[in-house]
Amino acid sequence: MTTVMGICRSFHDRALARFFHCFPCLSDPARRSSWGLKVTLVMLHLIFVGILFVFDGDLIETTKKEPCYVFDVMRAVNETNVICQKSSMASKQPASSQNGSLNVVIEGSQSGRNFQGSNPSSWTKLVMDMYPPGTSIRSCTCSYCNVEQPPRAKHCHDCDKCVLQFDHHCLWLGSCVGQDNHCKFWWYICEETALCLWTGILYIMYLKANISRAWWKDAIMILLLIALSIVIIFLLLLLLFHSYLVLTNQTTYELVRRRRIPYLRRIPERVYPFSKGICRNLYNFCCVRSSIYSLEPLPSSQELEEKARPYTCLDILACRCC
């Protein structure tokens, strides 16, 4: 029995010595304890997150925030309209908001109103009211989806759907960026920029402390730092660009293809037709509930003239830009 225990102990000592030979950083008890604590913390995070994914089967789907599609809003509006008409005919009273109520906010001072279930209206009439009088319904109809598009909507050929406030189709995320997920996309860019900046600072600190050691390590770190710097510059420019779009209530598609969009062709370049001021734009971008569909009608000629008027000192003191 003693011989067997001795053999097992000797095998254990040889295996431990070989392990420490392969990983010399763990030969020190203090460093081994530190590494053990770090591994334990990582495992705890994996366990907690893993349990969430095991018990909540819809977790992945709920975290994937897709934009608002025109077809979904049109179907919801028409279904709510049918329910309200049936309820009104049955009770001869306006239908209550509990029977298929839908929140569709039509912004703008020209026709600022809410479409609730108690106010029956078809999708076609709702869309045409947001365009100037005399607009042909054919010019507002998508040739692919065959649905009437409200202003700022566009058909995405990758998703094969019309998107409200279409910004662009992101290849990295695999979906469109538009109403309901543009804010999340901005925060995603902001987090990626902060992470890359923090990583770049760590690289610079390492090179400052170890620049005179192994030259091949320094060469690898410098090459990675150069690549990381290019990524940081791209992310910073992208973050600034989308911040500018948020402050002026524009989309990438509207800014790049302005001369190809029929209702934006005659508007001067420096006039932002859908802007409501910096503060209001930020509030609508960050704080509006995702359960509300926001539709923006085209501004009237008087509103465009007001937006095109240059700022004066009195306008700045009166916070006209906000």
Helix%, strand%, coil% for the chain, nearest 5: 55, 5, 35
User: What is the Cα–Cα distance from 117 to 81, expressed in whole angstroms?
Assistant: 7
Name the catalytic one among 22, 170, 176, 287: 170
Contact 102, 115 (CB under 8 A): yes
Tokens of 254: 């509207």
Residue 83's closest CA among 71, 72, 94, 69?
94
Q: Which two tokens stand for residue 300?
A: 């009237």
Instruction: Please report, as a single letter, which amino acid is at residue 319.
Output: C
Residue with tokens 């779009």: 245
Chain position carrying tokens 């909507």: 153
Residues 118, 97 contacting (CB under 8 angstroms): yes
* CB-CB contact of 185 with 174 (8 Å): no
In 3D space, the residue among 250, 237, 236 whose CA is nearest the CA of residue 278 turns out to be 250
Question: What secondary structure letter does DSSP report for 300?
Answer: P
Catalytic residue list contains 170: yes
Q: Do residues 159 and 169 lie in contact, with contact meaning Cβ atoms separated by under 8 Å? A: yes
300, 110 Cβ separation under 8 angstroms: yes
- List active site positions: 170
